[in-house]
Structure 1
Protein backbone atom coordinates (compact mmCIF):
# COMPACT_ATOMS: atom_id res chain seq x y z
CA UNK A 1 0.00 0.00 0.00
CA UNK A 2 1.21 3.52 -0.84
CA UNK A 3 1.06 5.69 2.30
CA UNK A 4 1.40 9.42 2.91
CA UNK A 5 2.05 10.65 6.48
CA UNK A 6 1.15 14.15 7.71
CA UNK A 7 2.25 14.92 11.28
CA UNK A 8 4.06 17.94 12.74
CA UNK A 9 6.08 15.73 15.11
CA UNK A 10 9.35 14.80 13.39
CA UNK A 11 9.90 11.77 15.64
CA UNK A 12 6.41 10.46 14.83
CA UNK A 13 7.07 10.84 11.10
CA UNK A 14 10.24 8.74 11.40
CA UNK A 15 8.63 6.07 13.57
CA UNK A 16 5.59 5.65 11.31
CA UNK A 17 7.74 5.60 8.17
CA UNK A 18 9.91 2.85 9.70
CA UNK A 19 6.90 0.80 10.83
CA UNK A 20 5.21 1.00 7.43
CA UNK A 21 8.39 0.13 5.54
CA UNK A 22 8.99 -2.82 7.88
CA UNK A 23 5.50 -4.19 7.20
CA UNK A 24 5.87 -3.99 3.42
CA UNK A 25 4.20 -0.66 2.66
CA UNK A 26 5.66 2.17 0.58
CA UNK A 27 5.84 5.63 2.16
CA UNK A 28 5.35 8.07 -0.72
CA UNK A 29 5.51 11.24 1.37
CA UNK A 30 6.08 12.41 4.95
CA UNK A 31 5.11 16.01 5.72
CA UNK A 32 4.87 18.25 8.79
CA UNK A 33 1.81 20.19 7.56
CA UNK A 34 -0.91 20.14 4.95
CA UNK A 35 0.42 22.96 2.79
CA UNK A 36 0.03 22.10 -0.86
CA UNK A 37 -1.90 18.93 -0.03
CA UNK A 38 -3.85 19.02 -3.27
CA UNK A 39 -0.68 18.98 -5.38
CA UNK A 40 0.98 16.38 -3.15
CA UNK A 41 -1.96 14.03 -3.66
CA UNK A 42 -1.71 14.39 -7.42
CA UNK A 43 2.05 13.80 -7.40
CA UNK A 44 2.27 10.86 -5.00
CA UNK A 45 -1.13 9.15 -5.55
CA UNK A 46 -1.30 7.43 -2.13
CA UNK A 47 -3.73 4.67 -1.24
CA UNK A 48 -3.88 5.88 2.35
CA UNK A 49 -3.05 9.02 4.34
CA UNK A 50 -2.12 8.92 8.03
CA UNK A 51 -3.34 12.33 9.12
CA UNK A 52 -2.67 14.14 12.39
CA UNK A 53 -5.34 16.49 13.78
CA UNK A 54 -3.38 19.37 15.34
CA UNK A 55 -1.27 20.79 12.54
CA UNK A 56 0.05 24.25 11.63
CA UNK A 57 -2.27 25.96 9.15
CA UNK A 58 -5.24 23.79 8.23
CA UNK A 59 -6.08 21.17 10.84
CA UNK A 60 -6.71 17.49 10.17
CA UNK A 61 -10.48 17.84 9.76
CA UNK A 62 -10.06 20.54 7.10
CA UNK A 63 -7.48 18.41 5.28
CA UNK A 64 -9.71 15.34 5.52
CA UNK A 65 -12.46 17.24 3.72
CA UNK A 66 -9.99 18.20 0.99
CA UNK A 67 -9.03 14.56 0.52
CA UNK A 68 -12.66 13.44 0.41
CA UNK A 69 -13.46 16.09 -2.19
CA UNK A 70 -10.42 15.58 -4.40
CA UNK A 71 -9.85 11.84 -4.05
CA UNK A 72 -12.55 9.95 -2.10
CA UNK A 73 -10.90 6.67 -3.05
CA UNK A 74 -8.01 7.48 -0.68
CA UNK A 75 -8.41 6.07 2.82
CA UNK A 76 -7.56 8.25 5.79
CA UNK A 77 -6.46 7.09 9.24
CA UNK A 78 -7.05 10.03 11.58
CA UNK A 79 -4.53 10.37 14.43
CA UNK A 80 -4.74 12.62 17.47
CA UNK A 81 -3.67 13.15 21.06
CA UNK A 82 -6.58 15.55 21.58
CA UNK A 83 -9.39 14.86 24.05
CA UNK A 84 -11.73 17.23 22.23
CA UNK A 85 -15.32 16.08 22.69
CA UNK A 86 -16.93 14.54 19.63
CA UNK A 87 -13.73 14.54 17.57
CA UNK A 88 -13.93 10.85 16.64
CA UNK A 89 -17.52 11.33 15.48
CA UNK A 90 -16.55 14.38 13.41
CA UNK A 91 -13.69 12.50 11.76
CA UNK A 92 -15.90 9.50 11.01
CA UNK A 93 -18.66 11.66 9.51
CA UNK A 94 -16.07 13.53 7.44
CA UNK A 95 -14.97 10.22 5.91
CA UNK A 96 -12.09 8.87 8.01
CA UNK A 97 -11.61 5.14 7.44
CA UNK A 98 -9.79 4.70 10.73
CA UNK A 99 -9.16 6.57 13.98
CA UNK A 100 -6.35 6.12 16.47
CA UNK A 101 -5.43 8.03 19.61
CA UNK A 102 -1.88 8.91 20.58
CA UNK A 103 0.18 7.53 22.12
CA UNK A 104 -0.23 4.20 20.35
CA UNK A 105 1.91 1.12 19.88
CA UNK A 106 3.15 -0.33 16.63
CA UNK A 107 0.64 -3.18 16.74
CA UNK A 108 -2.24 -0.71 17.07
CA UNK A 109 -1.40 1.17 13.90
CA UNK A 110 -0.71 -2.08 12.02
CA UNK A 111 -4.08 -3.48 13.13
CA UNK A 112 -5.78 -0.25 12.06
CA UNK A 113 -4.21 -0.51 8.60
CA UNK A 114 -5.36 -4.11 8.36
CA UNK A 115 -8.97 -3.12 9.10
CA UNK A 116 -8.87 -0.27 6.60
CA UNK A 117 -7.37 -2.52 3.93
CA UNK A 118 -10.10 -5.13 4.44
CA UNK A 119 -12.81 -2.50 4.08
CA UNK A 120 -11.17 -1.06 0.96
CA UNK A 121 -11.02 -4.47 -0.72
CA UNK A 122 -14.76 -4.85 -0.23
CA UNK A 123 -15.35 -1.36 -1.61
CA UNK A 124 -13.28 -2.17 -4.69
CA UNK A 125 -15.20 -5.41 -5.13
CA UNK A 126 -18.47 -3.47 -4.98
CA UNK A 127 -17.18 -0.99 -7.54
CA UNK A 128 -16.18 -3.76 -9.91
CA UNK A 129 -19.58 -5.38 -9.57
CA UNK A 130 -21.29 -2.06 -10.33
CA UNK A 131 -19.42 -1.66 -13.60
CA UNK A 132 -19.73 -5.29 -14.69
CA UNK A 133 -22.29 -6.13 -17.32
CA UNK A 134 -23.52 -9.20 -15.46
CA UNK A 135 -25.62 -9.15 -12.32
CA UNK A 136 -23.50 -9.57 -9.16
CA UNK A 137 -23.28 -13.26 -8.37
CA UNK A 138 -24.48 -13.16 -4.78
CA UNK A 139 -27.10 -10.47 -5.08
CA UNK A 140 -30.68 -11.71 -4.92
CA UNK A 141 -30.82 -14.55 -2.42
CA UNK A 142 -31.59 -12.47 0.64
CA UNK A 143 -33.42 -9.44 -0.70
CA UNK A 144 -32.59 -5.86 -1.54
CA UNK A 145 -30.95 -2.97 0.29
CA UNK A 146 -30.69 0.82 0.10
CA UNK A 147 -27.75 2.83 1.45
CA UNK A 148 -28.12 6.46 2.56
CA UNK A 149 -24.89 8.26 3.51
CA UNK A 150 -23.47 11.58 2.34
CA UNK A 151 -19.94 10.12 2.13
CA UNK A 152 -19.10 8.34 -1.11
CA UNK A 153 -16.42 6.07 0.32
CA UNK A 154 -18.75 4.93 3.12
CA UNK A 155 -21.42 4.09 0.55
CA UNK A 156 -18.95 1.99 -1.43
CA UNK A 157 -17.75 0.06 1.61
CA UNK A 158 -21.30 -0.58 2.81
CA UNK A 159 -22.27 -1.77 -0.67
CA UNK A 160 -19.45 -4.31 -0.63
CA UNK A 161 -20.38 -5.52 2.86
CA UNK A 162 -24.11 -5.84 2.14
CA UNK A 163 -23.53 -7.70 -1.11
CA UNK A 164 -21.09 -9.99 0.67
CA UNK A 165 -24.01 -10.87 2.95
CA UNK A 166 -26.23 -11.73 -0.02
CA UNK A 167 -28.21 -8.51 -0.37
CA UNK A 168 -28.58 -6.66 -3.68
CA UNK A 169 -28.02 -2.92 -3.28
CA UNK A 170 -30.62 -1.30 -5.52
CA UNK A 171 -29.83 2.34 -4.73
CA UNK A 172 -27.28 4.48 -2.88
CA UNK A 173 -28.23 8.05 -1.94
CA UNK A 174 -26.75 10.99 -0.04
CA UNK A 175 -29.65 12.61 1.86
CA UNK A 176 -32.51 11.59 4.11
CA UNK A 177 -35.03 12.88 1.59
CA UNK A 178 -33.54 10.65 -1.10
CA UNK A 179 -33.55 7.74 1.34
CA UNK A 180 -37.29 8.21 1.87
CA UNK A 181 -37.93 8.23 -1.88
CA UNK A 182 -35.79 5.11 -2.35
CA UNK A 183 -37.64 3.32 0.47
CA UNK A 184 -40.98 4.10 -1.14
CA UNK A 185 -39.80 2.98 -4.57
CA UNK A 186 -37.98 -0.23 -3.62
CA UNK A 187 -39.46 -1.38 -0.28
CA UNK A 188 -36.01 -2.86 0.56
CA UNK A 189 -35.39 -5.54 3.13
CA UNK A 190 -32.60 -3.44 4.70
CA UNK A 191 -31.90 0.29 4.64
CA UNK A 192 -28.63 1.65 6.08
CA UNK A 193 -29.31 5.22 7.18
CA UNK A 194 -26.63 7.73 8.14
CA UNK A 195 -27.52 9.98 11.08
CA UNK A 196 -25.87 13.19 9.86
CA UNK A 197 -26.87 14.09 6.29
CA UNK A 198 -27.82 17.30 4.47
CA UNK A 199 -31.39 18.27 3.51
CA UNK A 200 -32.90 15.74 5.93
CA UNK A 201 -30.96 13.93 8.65
CA UNK A 202 -31.36 10.25 9.43
CA UNK A 203 -33.37 10.70 12.61
CA UNK A 204 -35.79 13.02 10.79
CA UNK A 205 -36.17 10.62 7.90
CA UNK A 206 -36.41 7.46 10.02
CA UNK A 207 -40.10 7.58 11.10
CA UNK A 208 -41.14 8.58 7.58
CA UNK A 209 -39.24 5.61 6.13
CA UNK A 210 -40.77 3.22 8.67
CA UNK A 211 -44.23 4.47 7.74
CA UNK A 212 -43.57 4.30 4.00
CA UNK A 213 -41.90 0.86 4.06
CA UNK A 214 -42.92 -0.94 7.28
CA UNK A 215 -41.23 -4.24 6.35
CA UNK A 216 -37.82 -2.58 5.91
CA UNK A 217 -35.22 -3.09 8.64
CA UNK A 218 -33.62 0.34 9.12
CA UNK A 219 -30.06 0.28 10.47
CA UNK A 220 -28.57 3.59 11.61
CA UNK A 221 -24.98 4.39 10.60
CA UNK A 222 -23.21 6.81 12.92
CA UNK A 223 -19.88 7.93 14.29
CA UNK A 224 -21.44 8.33 17.73
CA UNK A 225 -22.78 5.54 19.95
CA UNK A 226 -24.35 8.00 22.40
CA UNK A 227 -26.98 6.22 24.50
CA UNK A 228 -29.52 8.99 24.02
CA UNK A 229 -29.16 8.83 20.23
CA UNK A 230 -29.37 5.03 20.22
CA UNK A 231 -32.50 5.08 22.38
CA UNK A 232 -34.07 7.79 20.21
CA UNK A 233 -33.38 5.84 17.03
CA UNK A 234 -34.80 2.65 18.56
CA UNK A 235 -37.92 4.52 19.65
CA UNK A 236 -38.41 5.77 16.10
CA UNK A 237 -38.17 2.27 14.63
CA UNK A 238 -34.50 1.49 13.93
CA UNK A 239 -33.51 -2.15 14.46
CA UNK A 240 -29.90 -1.36 15.38
CA UNK A 241 -26.87 0.71 14.50
CA UNK A 242 -23.44 0.44 12.87
CA UNK A 243 -20.53 2.56 14.08
CA UNK A 244 -18.12 4.45 11.82
CA UNK A 245 -15.33 3.95 10.92
CA UNK A 246 -16.74 0.76 9.44
CA UNK A 247 -15.24 -2.54 10.57
CA UNK A 248 -16.01 -5.31 8.05
CA UNK A 249 -16.12 -8.21 10.51
CA UNK A 250 -18.53 -6.38 12.83
CA UNK A 251 -20.78 -5.11 10.03
CA UNK A 252 -21.00 -8.51 8.34
CA UNK A 253 -21.78 -10.25 11.64
CA UNK A 254 -24.50 -7.69 12.40
CA UNK A 255 -26.12 -7.95 8.96
CA UNK A 256 -26.00 -11.76 8.88
CA UNK A 257 -27.63 -11.90 12.32
CA UNK A 258 -30.26 -9.40 11.18
CA UNK A 259 -31.05 -11.53 8.13
CA UNK A 260 -31.29 -14.67 10.24
Structure 2
Protein backbone atom coordinates (compact mmCIF):
# COMPACT_ATOMS: atom_id res chain seq x y z
CA UNK A 1 0.00 0.00 0.00
CA UNK A 2 1.09 3.57 -0.71
CA UNK A 3 1.25 5.52 2.55
CA UNK A 4 1.48 9.25 3.26
CA UNK A 5 2.60 10.18 6.80
CA UNK A 6 1.58 13.51 8.34
CA UNK A 7 2.96 14.29 11.81
CA UNK A 8 4.79 17.32 13.23
CA UNK A 9 7.12 15.06 15.25
CA UNK A 10 10.21 14.05 13.26
CA UNK A 11 10.88 10.96 15.38
CA UNK A 12 7.31 9.78 14.84
CA UNK A 13 7.59 10.25 11.08
CA UNK A 14 10.82 8.24 10.97
CA UNK A 15 9.45 5.47 13.19
CA UNK A 16 6.26 5.10 11.14
CA UNK A 17 8.11 5.23 7.82
CA UNK A 18 10.60 2.56 8.91
CA UNK A 19 7.96 0.30 10.42
CA UNK A 20 5.62 0.50 7.44
CA UNK A 21 8.42 0.04 4.90
CA UNK A 22 9.59 -3.06 6.77
CA UNK A 23 6.04 -4.42 6.40
CA UNK A 24 6.13 -4.02 2.63
CA UNK A 25 4.28 -0.71 2.31
CA UNK A 26 5.59 2.13 0.14
CA UNK A 27 5.93 5.43 2.01
CA UNK A 28 5.31 8.03 -0.70
CA UNK A 29 5.76 11.10 1.51
CA UNK A 30 6.13 12.46 5.03
CA UNK A 31 4.87 15.92 5.99
CA UNK A 32 5.39 17.94 9.17
CA UNK A 33 2.37 20.26 8.84
CA UNK A 34 -1.18 20.24 7.61
CA UNK A 35 -1.23 23.00 5.02
CA UNK A 36 0.22 20.92 2.18
CA UNK A 37 -1.60 17.65 2.77
CA UNK A 38 -4.25 17.95 0.07
CA UNK A 39 -1.68 18.90 -2.55
CA UNK A 40 0.36 15.85 -1.53
CA UNK A 41 -2.75 13.66 -1.74
CA UNK A 42 -3.42 14.89 -5.28
CA UNK A 43 0.18 14.47 -6.41
CA UNK A 44 1.12 11.24 -4.62
CA UNK A 45 -2.19 9.31 -4.68
CA UNK A 46 -1.70 7.39 -1.42
CA UNK A 47 -3.92 4.50 -0.39
CA UNK A 48 -3.57 5.37 3.31
CA UNK A 49 -2.85 8.63 5.12
CA UNK A 50 -1.45 8.37 8.65
CA UNK A 51 -2.75 11.71 9.95
CA UNK A 52 -1.93 13.48 13.19
CA UNK A 53 -4.65 15.58 14.83
CA UNK A 54 -2.85 18.64 16.18
CA UNK A 55 -0.75 19.98 13.33
CA UNK A 56 0.77 23.36 12.51
CA UNK A 57 -0.97 25.00 9.59
CA UNK A 58 -4.22 23.04 9.64
CA UNK A 59 -6.33 20.91 11.95
CA UNK A 60 -6.25 17.14 11.35
CA UNK A 61 -10.04 16.74 11.57
CA UNK A 62 -10.49 19.42 8.94
CA UNK A 63 -8.05 17.59 6.66
CA UNK A 64 -9.81 14.27 7.34
CA UNK A 65 -13.14 15.73 6.24
CA UNK A 66 -11.64 17.11 3.02
CA UNK A 67 -9.86 13.86 2.13
CA UNK A 68 -13.06 11.88 2.59
CA UNK A 69 -15.01 14.37 0.48
CA UNK A 70 -12.48 14.63 -2.34
CA UNK A 71 -11.04 11.09 -2.30
CA UNK A 72 -13.37 8.69 -0.44
CA UNK A 73 -11.34 5.70 -1.61
CA UNK A 74 -8.37 6.82 0.53
CA UNK A 75 -8.28 5.49 4.09
CA UNK A 76 -7.19 7.75 6.93
CA UNK A 77 -5.54 6.36 10.05
CA UNK A 78 -6.08 9.11 12.62
CA UNK A 79 -3.46 9.60 15.34
CA UNK A 80 -3.44 11.87 18.38
CA UNK A 81 -1.96 12.49 21.80
CA UNK A 82 -5.00 14.58 22.73
CA UNK A 83 -6.87 13.61 25.88
CA UNK A 84 -10.17 14.97 24.56
CA UNK A 85 -12.79 12.38 25.42
CA UNK A 86 -14.76 12.95 22.23
CA UNK A 87 -11.89 12.95 19.74
CA UNK A 88 -12.13 9.25 18.82
CA UNK A 89 -15.86 9.58 18.20
CA UNK A 90 -15.40 12.76 16.17
CA UNK A 91 -12.70 11.14 14.05
CA UNK A 92 -14.87 8.05 13.47
CA UNK A 93 -17.86 10.18 12.48
CA UNK A 94 -15.61 12.14 10.11
CA UNK A 95 -14.70 8.89 8.38
CA UNK A 96 -11.44 7.76 9.96
CA UNK A 97 -10.75 4.15 8.99
CA UNK A 98 -8.62 3.59 12.08
CA UNK A 99 -7.55 5.36 15.26
CA UNK A 100 -4.37 5.38 17.35
CA UNK A 101 -3.92 7.28 20.59
CA UNK A 102 -0.35 8.25 21.43
CA UNK A 103 1.84 6.91 22.84
CA UNK A 104 1.38 3.65 20.97
CA UNK A 105 3.57 0.62 20.36
CA UNK A 106 4.76 -0.81 17.08
CA UNK A 107 2.39 -3.77 17.29
CA UNK A 108 -0.56 -1.39 17.66
CA UNK A 109 0.47 0.39 14.47
CA UNK A 110 0.94 -2.85 12.54
CA UNK A 111 -2.37 -4.31 13.73
CA UNK A 112 -4.36 -1.13 13.01
CA UNK A 113 -2.87 -0.64 9.54
CA UNK A 114 -3.55 -4.30 8.70
CA UNK A 115 -7.16 -3.93 9.85
CA UNK A 116 -7.61 -0.83 7.69
CA UNK A 117 -6.00 -2.50 4.66
CA UNK A 118 -7.94 -5.76 4.91
CA UNK A 119 -11.26 -3.96 5.42
CA UNK A 120 -10.78 -1.75 2.38
CA UNK A 121 -9.58 -4.62 0.19
CA UNK A 122 -12.62 -6.65 1.17
CA UNK A 123 -14.96 -3.76 0.36
CA UNK A 124 -13.20 -2.93 -2.92
CA UNK A 125 -13.40 -6.52 -4.15
CA UNK A 126 -17.14 -6.59 -3.50
CA UNK A 127 -17.70 -3.17 -5.10
CA UNK A 128 -15.87 -4.29 -8.24
CA UNK A 129 -18.17 -7.31 -8.52
CA UNK A 130 -21.38 -5.48 -7.62
CA UNK A 131 -22.26 -4.60 -11.23
CA UNK A 132 -22.02 -8.26 -12.19
CA UNK A 133 -24.03 -9.36 -9.17
CA UNK A 134 -26.78 -6.83 -9.86
CA UNK A 135 -27.09 -7.71 -13.55
CA UNK A 136 -30.14 -9.81 -14.46
CA UNK A 137 -29.35 -13.51 -14.23
CA UNK A 138 -29.67 -15.50 -17.49
CA UNK A 139 -32.78 -17.64 -17.81
CA UNK A 140 -31.63 -21.23 -17.43
CA UNK A 141 -34.89 -22.89 -16.56
CA UNK A 142 -33.55 -23.90 -13.14
CA UNK A 143 -34.64 -22.79 -9.70
CA UNK A 144 -35.27 -19.08 -9.19
CA UNK A 145 -32.35 -17.46 -7.30
CA UNK A 146 -33.13 -16.39 -3.76
CA UNK A 147 -33.97 -12.69 -3.65
CA UNK A 148 -31.41 -10.67 -1.77
CA UNK A 149 -32.61 -8.30 0.99
CA UNK A 150 -32.64 -4.69 -0.15
CA UNK A 151 -30.69 -2.01 1.72
CA UNK A 152 -30.25 1.75 1.76
CA UNK A 153 -27.11 3.41 3.13
CA UNK A 154 -27.31 6.89 4.67
CA UNK A 155 -24.15 8.71 5.75
CA UNK A 156 -22.83 12.20 5.06
CA UNK A 157 -19.35 10.72 4.55
CA UNK A 158 -18.58 9.33 1.10
CA UNK A 159 -15.81 7.05 2.35
CA UNK A 160 -18.13 5.32 4.81
CA UNK A 161 -20.85 4.92 2.18
CA UNK A 162 -18.35 3.34 -0.20
CA UNK A 163 -17.05 1.00 2.49
CA UNK A 164 -20.51 -0.06 3.67
CA UNK A 165 -21.68 -0.62 0.09
CA UNK A 166 -18.89 -3.09 -0.54
CA UNK A 167 -19.14 -4.94 2.76
CA UNK A 168 -22.94 -5.20 2.67
CA UNK A 169 -22.91 -6.34 -0.96
CA UNK A 170 -20.46 -9.08 -0.01
CA UNK A 171 -22.85 -10.14 2.76
CA UNK A 172 -25.61 -10.66 0.21
CA UNK A 173 -27.58 -7.42 0.45
CA UNK A 174 -28.81 -5.52 -2.59
CA UNK A 175 -27.93 -1.82 -2.24
CA UNK A 176 -30.90 -0.04 -3.82
CA UNK A 177 -30.15 3.49 -2.66
CA UNK A 178 -27.75 5.83 -0.90
CA UNK A 179 -28.24 9.19 0.78
CA UNK A 180 -26.07 11.78 2.48
CA UNK A 181 -28.53 13.48 4.87
CA UNK A 182 -31.69 12.91 6.86
CA UNK A 183 -34.12 14.42 4.37
CA UNK A 184 -32.74 12.24 1.57
CA UNK A 185 -32.97 9.25 3.91
CA UNK A 186 -36.70 9.74 4.40
CA UNK A 187 -37.24 9.99 0.62
CA UNK A 188 -35.11 6.89 -0.02
CA UNK A 189 -37.06 4.91 2.55
CA UNK A 190 -40.35 5.97 1.00
CA UNK A 191 -39.23 5.27 -2.56
CA UNK A 192 -37.42 1.96 -2.03
CA UNK A 193 -39.16 0.43 1.04
CA UNK A 194 -35.91 -1.43 1.81
CA UNK A 195 -35.58 -4.39 4.11
CA UNK A 196 -32.91 -2.50 6.06
CA UNK A 197 -31.65 1.07 6.20
CA UNK A 198 -28.27 1.92 7.72
CA UNK A 199 -28.60 5.41 9.20
CA UNK A 200 -25.77 7.68 10.32
CA UNK A 201 -26.47 9.41 13.63
CA UNK A 202 -24.53 12.66 13.18
CA UNK A 203 -25.37 14.47 9.96
CA UNK A 204 -25.78 18.16 9.14
CA UNK A 205 -29.36 19.38 8.99
CA UNK A 206 -31.73 16.57 9.92
CA UNK A 207 -29.80 14.16 12.14
CA UNK A 208 -30.26 10.42 12.10
CA UNK A 209 -32.23 10.40 15.33
CA UNK A 210 -34.51 13.16 14.05
CA UNK A 211 -35.00 11.35 10.74
CA UNK A 212 -35.67 7.96 12.35
CA UNK A 213 -39.38 8.49 13.26
CA UNK A 214 -40.10 9.85 9.78
CA UNK A 215 -38.34 6.89 8.16
CA UNK A 216 -40.33 4.46 10.29
CA UNK A 217 -43.54 6.23 9.24
CA UNK A 218 -42.56 6.23 5.55
CA UNK A 219 -41.51 2.57 5.55
CA UNK A 220 -42.81 0.71 8.63
CA UNK A 221 -41.38 -2.68 7.56
CA UNK A 222 -37.82 -1.36 7.21
CA UNK A 223 -35.33 -2.33 9.91
CA UNK A 224 -33.39 0.83 10.72
CA UNK A 225 -29.82 0.33 11.97
CA UNK A 226 -27.96 3.28 13.44
CA UNK A 227 -24.34 3.88 12.40
CA UNK A 228 -22.39 5.82 15.00
CA UNK A 229 -18.95 6.73 16.27
CA UNK A 230 -20.13 6.41 19.87
CA UNK A 231 -22.62 3.83 21.08
CA UNK A 232 -23.33 5.55 24.39
CA UNK A 233 -26.06 4.09 26.56
CA UNK A 234 -28.13 7.26 26.17
CA UNK A 235 -27.96 7.12 22.37
CA UNK A 236 -28.70 3.40 22.20
CA UNK A 237 -31.72 3.72 24.47
CA UNK A 238 -33.07 6.75 22.60
CA UNK A 239 -32.64 5.08 19.20
CA UNK A 240 -34.29 1.88 20.44
CA UNK A 241 -37.18 3.91 21.82
CA UNK A 242 -37.66 5.46 18.38
CA UNK A 243 -37.71 2.06 16.71
CA UNK A 244 -34.11 1.33 15.69
CA UNK A 245 -33.24 -2.37 15.45
CA UNK A 246 -29.63 -1.95 16.57
CA UNK A 247 -26.43 -0.12 15.81
CA UNK A 248 -23.07 -0.48 14.06
CA UNK A 249 -20.05 1.33 15.48
CA UNK A 250 -17.52 3.25 13.37
CA UNK A 251 -14.87 2.55 12.22
CA UNK A 252 -16.69 -0.24 10.43
CA UNK A 253 -15.23 -3.69 11.06
CA UNK A 254 -16.25 -6.56 8.71
CA UNK A 255 -16.52 -9.28 11.38
CA UNK A 256 -18.84 -7.20 13.55
CA UNK A 257 -20.95 -6.15 10.56
CA UNK A 258 -21.26 -9.75 9.34
CA UNK A 259 -22.37 -10.99 12.76
CA UNK A 260 -24.90 -8.17 13.02
CA UNK A 261 -26.41 -8.75 9.57
CA UNK A 262 -26.70 -12.50 10.15
CA UNK A 263 -28.47 -11.88 13.44
CA UNK A 264 -30.76 -9.28 11.84
CA UNK A 265 -31.90 -11.70 9.14
CA UNK A 266 -31.81 -14.81 11.39
CA UNK A 267 -29.19 -16.50 9.25
Interval containing the TM-score (normalised by the shorter chain)? over 0.9
Aligned to 2:59: 59
TM-score, normalised via structure 2 length = 0.91
The 1:136–1:15 alpha-carbon spacing in structure 2 relative to 1, beyond 3 Å, is farther
2:108 corresponds to 1:108? yes
Decide which structure has the larger Cα Rg and report it: 2
Shift of 1:136: 8.6
Q: Which 5+ residue runs of structure 2 have no aligned equivalent?
A: 138-144
2:204 corresponds to 1:169? no
2:158 corresponds to 1:144? no
Shift of 1:128: 2.0
Tell whether the 8 Å contact from 1:119 to 1:248 is kept in structure 2 after alignment: yes
Q: Which 5+ residue runs of structure 1 have no aligned equivalent?
A: none
Shift of 1:234: 0.5
TM-score, normalised via structure 1 length = 0.94
Runs of 4+ in structure 1 over 3 Å off: 129-134, 139-142
Shift of 1:174: 0.5
* SS at structure 2 position matched to 1:108: helix
| Cα distance between partner residues in 1 of 2:201 and 2:38 | 29
Tell whether the 8 Å contact from 2:73 to 2:162 is kept in structure 1 after alignment: no
Aligned to 1:85: 85
Shift of 1:249: 1.1
Deviation string 1:65-118 (CA, Å, 9 cap, x unpaired) is 221233221110000111113111111121111111111111111111121112
Task: Judge which range, 15-24 or 28-37, deviates more.
Answer: 28-37
Aligned to 2:17: 17
| Cα distance between partner residues in 2 of 1:11 and 1:91 | 24
2:238 corresponds to 1:219? no
Tell whether the 8 Å contact from 2:31 to 2:37 is kept in structure 1 after alignment: no
1:110-259 mapped onto 2 (5 Å cutoff): 110-130=110-130, 135=135, 141-259=147-265
